[in-house]
Amino acid sequence: MTKKRSEPVPAEPLRNQVAVVTGAARGIGEAIANRLADMGATVVLTARDQARLAQVKSAIEQRSRKARVLPCDLTDPRAVAALGEKVAKEHGRCDILVNNAGVGVLRKPLIDLPVEEWDQMMHTNLRAPYLMMQSLAPLMIAARSGHIINISSLAGKNILPEGAAYSASKWGLNGLTYSVAEELRQYNVRVSVIAPGSVNTHFGGPRGTKDPSRMIQPDDVAQVVAMLVTQAPTSFVSEILLRPTMKP
């Protein structure tokens, strides 16, 4: 049997594509934004911290890559709708949406959790991805192409004592992802979820006795995103569970 020749991988596989990344001011979101920009995409950076977004944008542009800052309160439906309108007006397309922004109140029993902190996690971790997909998926549907990636957590697959609300928000995000993936398949739009374990960022506060060098690094998550958005068009990975090689 003749061996099929592998096609050469383009130096910039995402050239001319537009990628929107939430929570892009730091941590996982910053790493993902950098990776997608280096792959040739024009990256739209969004979060509330405009100063940090400007720094991320500057670092990307220093490498002769393209980035655009659109600060947004993702818990505000009007702000998210306006963001979608700006992307449509300025770029006319959205090829990749990474819903990464998240908050977590951990090490607090549910019975001691104020309703304001419950709402903050649900609005940021679950409601915001819904709003972002509602705002930007129509551009993908019109193009009959696109990839949405939701950053969840292993806490959305496992029990998390003293983190029940955070866990619930991520279980909800998983269910949202699986269901929307079925809704959008008919339009050739792929929807995936990545569920990492503990990542070496400042998310959730101090890590206690965990060894940061053994934890998942933000670039590890970015590498998975890069793999998903360059996958062959005939299939998609619906879920990835990402664990550290060695327990920290």
Instruction: Let me know: does 82 contact 6? Beta carbons within 8 Å.
Output: no
Residue among 95, 99, 115 at smallest CA distance from 41: 95
CA angle 126, 132, 138 (to 5 degrees): 135
Q: How far is CA 120 from CA 91, 125, 160, 235, in A?
A: 31, 8, 18, 35
Question: DSSP character for 214?
Answer: G
Pull the structure tokens for residue 139: 């551009």
Q: How far is CA 246 from CA 13, 124, 198, 217, 219, in A?
A: 32, 30, 12, 13, 17
Q: How far is CA 216 from CA 36, 75, 163, in A?
A: 19, 28, 20
Instruction: Let me know: does 146 contact 97? Beta carbons within 8 Å.
Output: yes
166 catalytic per annotation = yes
Residue among 189, 157, 190, 194 at smallest CA distance from 172: 157
Beta strand extents in 93-203 (DSSP E only): 96-99, 146-151, 189-196
Instruction: Let me know: does 149 contact 228? Beta carbons within 8 Å.
Output: yes
Catalytic residue (one of 130, 166, 178, 187): 166
Catalytic residues: 166
